[in-house]
Amino acid sequence: MIELKPAINEVKLTLKSISSPINLGTVVEPVSGGSVPTDVRQAIYTLLENAAYATTGLEDEIAIVQAWAQEVTALSLEPTSLELSNDTPQTIVATVVPSGSTVTWSSSDESVATVVGGVVTGVGNGSCVITASAGNKSANCVVTVSGFATLESISAVYTQSGTVYQTDSLDSLKTDLVVTATYSDTSTATIPSDSYTLSGTLDSATSTITVTYGGKTTTFDVAVTLYTWLYRASDGELLSAQDYVNYTTSGEGGTETLSNNNLVIHTYPHQQQTGTAYLKFAFVEETSQKAFIKCRAKLVNAQIVPSTLSEASGLRFQLSNGTAGAQAYFLDNDGKITIRYNEGTTAMRVDTNFLLSDYHIFELILDGNNQSLVIDGETVFNTSNLSTAYATANTIFNQSSRSAVNPNGITTNIDWLAFKEVE
């Protein structure tokens, strides 16, 4: 009959200093050096595993020795080099001691080959190293992949379906763009829009844009509708310094300054119940049958008297066809933008979910006898009943009118402001 307790006690005492030799006779080498024969490791593992049911208080010690007994001592791969064609996955066999140890796989270049559980799949021409790891051991296999068609060139066909403006994003052009890849085996494929990049600027009537994919490039031309820039941060000029606007003030007036590449328009506090206060920039081209004002701005504050639609507006646009026109006031309604405009002589109001604290792109459009307003691409109003009250084209900042007392002043930050008379 085997006496287990003395053997267990001997192991327990030794494990209190695990870096010391485990005294189980001359067959077991120190843990800190050399390797232990597999059969000895397995015998110790079996003994301790069975003893755990017979003796209490040894759980920690048994766990430590189990981990030591299972430490990976050898890892090898077969083959160590592999030639792979694009359509024939192959398997690399890993031999690990002790058996059953977890092996993880990785590829040094996943654009050449990938590996899952030792199964290698080629995805592109070239060479890479497949590595198997277990414990602190690792082994490599050099994989060479061939047979894939290579990218020879790309081409682009742009079919413009609408108006493109200077402030449009290049990615918006992808809607009308088809990019095709041609490979070394003469095959072709349409490249997804999220796989290629566009570069260039929409700064001339005919702008050339570059397409890049897989190290290859091509170009296409786009017709751009150019603005008259009233202000843009890249120019860094005050509106009053531009030669295509007339600058006027009323009432308490206000200031325009440049700060952090933004134009900051501030109107002084207005506390009179009569008269108005504003900064107004009237365009040299005052009337047009078809035109728009477009602006990227943040309305820092603006006020509204809901019952009367009287306003202290952070920003107001007007366009004229000579006898009537389009207009929009941008007002504050509990932190969200409310729009006031006129249909004939009737004041209209549209509440939106656009936050006052964010930058937005505002666009007021006059088209013959039609007026509309768009914010961030969303139409806010569209009517054929023009305002009869205004017959000049201008932009008014921070207007405080008769019944809307403005005790704090109003501020608007302008990133850019543009006018376009559409031919």
Q: Tell me if residue 344 falls in helix, strand or coil.
A: strand
Alpha-carbon span 392 to 286, nearest angstrom: 5
Share of the chain above pLDDT 70, in %: 75
- 151-225 placed in CATH 3.40.1350.10: no
Section 388-413 average pLDDT: 70
Euclidean distance between CA atoms 64 and 279, whole angstroms:
80
Instruction: Assess whether pLDDT exceeds 80 at residue 267.
Output: no
- Compute the distance between CA of residue 388 and CA of residue 326 in angstroms, rounded to an integer: 9
pLDDT digits (tens, 9 = 90+) for 286-298: 788 889 999 999 9
Class of domain 74-146: mainly beta
CATH architecture under which domain 229-421 falls: Sandwich (2.60)
Among residues 314, 308, 307, 311, the alpha carbon closest in space to that of 279 is found at 314
pLDDT digits (tens, 9 = 90+) for 191-200: 999 999 999 9
**C-alpha span between 225 and 207 (Å, rounded):** 10
Q: Give which of 329, 352, 319 is closest to 398, Cα–Cα.
A: 329
* pLDDT of 43: 64
| Packed helices 59-69 and 4-15: angle between N→C axes, nearest 10 degrees | 80
Q: Which two tokens stand for residue 259?
A: 């700060």
pLDDT of residue 260: 78
Would you state the pLDDT for residue 16?
A: 38
Is the predicted pLDDT of residue 403 greater than 70, yes or no? Answer: no
Q: What is the per-residue pLDDT for 64?
A: 56
Answer yes or no: are the C-beta atoms of 281 and 239 closer than 8 Å.
yes
pTM across the whole model: 0.60
In one-letter notation, the amino acid at residue 316 is R
pLDDT digits (tens, 9 = 90+) for 36-82: 556 666 666 566 555 544 444 555 555 555 555 568 889 999 999 99
Q: How many CB atoms lie within 10 A of CB 63?
A: 12
Does 411 have pLDDT greater than 60? yes
> Residues 314-322: what's their mean pLDDT?
85
What HEC string does 289-332 produce?
CEEEEEEEEEECCCEEECCCCEEEEEEEEEEECCCCEEEEEEEE
Q: Please compute the mean of the pLDDT values over residues 338-367 and round it to a whole number.
A: 91
Range among 60-74, 220-234, 360-374 with highest mean pLDDT value: 360-374
For the chain, percent of residues with pLDDT exceeding 90: 37
3-state helix, strand, coil in the chain (%, to 5): 10, 50, 40
Q: Decide if pLDDT at 5 tops 50.
A: no
Look over the chain and give the mean of its residue pLDDT values, rounded to a whole number. 80
pLDDT at 38: 60
Q: Of 211-225, 302-316, 317-331, 385-399, which has the strongest mean pLDDT?
A: 211-225
Residue 166 has pLDDT above 50, yes or no: yes
Ramachandran sector of residue 51 (left: φ over 0; alpha: ψ -120 to 50; beta: rest): alpha
Q: What is the pLDDT of residue 96?
A: 92
CA 257 remoteness from chain centre: 32
Token pair, residue 395, equals 């932009």
Domain(s) of CATH 2.60.40.1080: residues in the chain: 74-146
Residue pair 12/25 in contact (Cβ under 8 Å)? The answer is no
CA–CA separation, 330 and 341 (whole Å): 9
